[in-house]
Amino acid sequence: MEHPIFAPAPTQQYKVDYFQAHLWPVGTDKPKPWSSIPEDVRNKVDGIMLLKLHFKAEDVFLFPRLKV
């Protein structure tokens, strides 16, 4: 569902780089930690969209540019 939402639109005046982390792979009992996202990717993130994952206060510090 998120792919069409973040796909470029002809009237769009901004650029969106979409990265899907797959922190909770199918068939696993628990998710991978947020720190498993490569640091170079975490350093570019301005916003995070969550579905079924927990995001703790200490996780915020893994994403220095995080705004939303």
Per-residue pLDDT tens for 33-51?
Answer: 999 999 999 999 999 988 7
Task: Give the pLDDT of residue 11.
Answer: 84
Calpha distance 4→66 (Å, rounded): 23
CB 23 within 8 A of CB 32: yes
With contact defined as beta carbons under 8 Å apart, do 4 and 25 qualify? no
Answer for the pair 63, 48: CB distance below 8 angstroms, yes or no. yes
| Higher pLDDT among residues 2 and 24, named by residue | 24
Task: Report how far residue 34's alpha carbon sits from residue 11's, in angstroms, rounded to the nearest whole number.
Answer: 33
* pTM reported for the whole predicted model: 0.77
Q: Is 62 exposed, middle or buried (0-12, 13-18, 19+ CB in 10 A)?
A: middle
